[in-house]
């Protein structure tokens, strides 16, 4: 066999290898694109189902703020300053939480589901962090509901106040501080966090959507 024939055979072999490589790359790209579309659709569908829940909570929050605000306007500060201060702080916390829910709804609408998934992951991370921040803030209003009914006529050295009302308020204050400090993503594996936060519809939806998107990265590594 002449050298020319061998060269032709090598060229043909190299050509087939190149064609095979191109086909493999095309197949990889198609598989990745298809998987990314499916996972992105799952994540989008999961988060979009969360929007009505957040709107419902937001509407309930509006009604609650209006109710408490009405009570504050009808009970002057000079008559019961404890109620006015407690209710005012409850209103402030709830208004901030409502602002957080509005931010979540807007953020969900802005999450990109096509193209580079880095932007999607960043938005989901922000949504997760903000969701936890709202939950943490909500804990702080717990002791305020125990001081709603304090009155200047019996606050002091009254036995009922010292033995019942004050200990209850201190208990809820300590609990609120503990929950505020420990409601973090790092503690999500703990049973009490799973019970209080991990099973909540809004947080599980974000985690599920993140799982769908993260699977795309793992799929890339396995191809």
SS3 string of 175-219?
Answer: HHHHHHHHCCHHHCCCHHHHHHHHCCHHHHHHHHHHHHHHHHHHH
What pLDDT, on a 0 to 100 scale, did the predictor assign at position 145? 94
Query: What are the structure tokens assigned to 97, written together?
Result: 């939480």
Alpha-carbon distance 25 to 27, whole Å? Answer: 5
The model's pTM is: 0.79
Q: DSSP of 21-67, one letter per residue?
A: HHHHHHHHHHHHHHHHHHHHHHHHHHHHTHHHHHHHHHHHHHHHHHH
What pLDDT, on a 0 to 100 scale, did the predictor assign at position 22? 59
Q: How do residues 142-155 score in pLDDT, each as one tens digit?
A: 999 999 888 777 77
Alpha-carbon distance 149 to 164, whole Å? Answer: 12
- Residue 22: phi and psi, rounded to 5, are -65, -45
What pLDDT, on a 0 to 100 scale, did the predictor assign at position 27? 57
The pLDDT of residue 217 is above 70 = yes
The pLDDT of residue 2 is above 60 = no
Q: How do residues 29-46 score in pLDDT, each as one tens digit?
A: 556 667 677 777 888 888
Averaged pLDDT, 50-64: 94
Higher pLDDT, 108 or 1: 108
The percent of residues in the chain predicted with pLDDT above 70, rounded, is 82
Higher pLDDT, 181 or 8: 181
What pLDDT, on a 0 to 100 scale, did the predictor assign at position 133? 94
Q: What confidence category does residue 191 fall into, taking pLDDT thresholds of 50, 70 and 90?
A: confident
Averaged pLDDT, 59-81: 91
């Amino acid at each position: 066999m002449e050298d020319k024939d061998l060269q032709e055979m090598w060229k043909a072999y190299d050509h087939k290898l190149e064609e095979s490589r191109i086909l493999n790359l095309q197949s990889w790209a198609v598989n990745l694109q298809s998987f990314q579309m499916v996972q992105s659709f799952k994540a989008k569908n999961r988060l979009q189902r969360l929007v009505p829940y957040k709107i419902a909570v937001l509407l309930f929050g509006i009604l609650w703020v209006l109710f408490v605000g009405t009570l504050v306007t009808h009970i002057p500060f000079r008559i019961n300053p404890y109620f006015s201060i407690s209710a005012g702080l409850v209103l402030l916390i709830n208004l901030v939480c409502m602002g957080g829910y509005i931010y979540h709804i807007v953020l969900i609408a802005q999450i990109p589901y096509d193209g580079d998934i880095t932007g999607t992951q960043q938005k989901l991370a922000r949504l997760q962090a903000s969701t936890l921040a709202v939950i943490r803030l909500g804990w702080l209003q717990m002791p305020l509901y125990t001081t709603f009914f304090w009155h200047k006529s019996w606050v002091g050295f009254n036995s009922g106040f010292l033995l019942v009302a004050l200990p209850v308020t201190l208990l809820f204050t300590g609990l609120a501080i503990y929950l505020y400090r420990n409601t973090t993503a790092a503690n999500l594996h703990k049973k009490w966090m799973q019970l209080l936060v991990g099973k909540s519809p809004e947080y599980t939806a974000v985690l599920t959507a993140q799982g769908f998107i993260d699977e795309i990265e793992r799929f890339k590594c396995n191809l």
